[in-house]
Structure 1
Amino acid sequence: MDEIRFHKSSYCTDAHGCVEMGAARDAVQVRDSKEADGPRLTFGRNEWSTFVTQVKASGLPA
């Protein structure tokens, strides 16, 4: 898989562990910021897009 640059949410503070996401050409990966070399969840771009759309529709912060 391509080298992925991970990003934290703007809602994240250094005082708490955060979830980071990174996008590659064909997939999106999610990891725990406290364990950058730990396990990652991988989602297809369509699945990630559906997830983000549903979070936004729910009124929860994205």
Structure 2
Amino acid sequence: MSDDKRNTGSPDRDRINLSEDYELDYWTQALGVTRAELREAVEAAGPMAEAVRNHLAQKG
């Protein structure tokens, strides 16, 4: 199923989708990390934004 850009409710905002360039751009800027760091964090913590934030906070 493709990402419906018109459906931007909470579940969509709370997930990090690494297959969309615009999401990579948004999340790398919002979290102050590189794409590689973001990918590593999502692989380690899962796609939920809060879990990724927590993972990055523990690393830094």
| TM-score normalised by structure 1 residue count | 0.33
> Which is helix-richer, 1 or 2?
2
Which one scores higher on RCO, CA 8 angstroms, separation ≥ 6? 2
Larger Rg: 1
| TM-score normalised by structure 2 residue count | 0.34
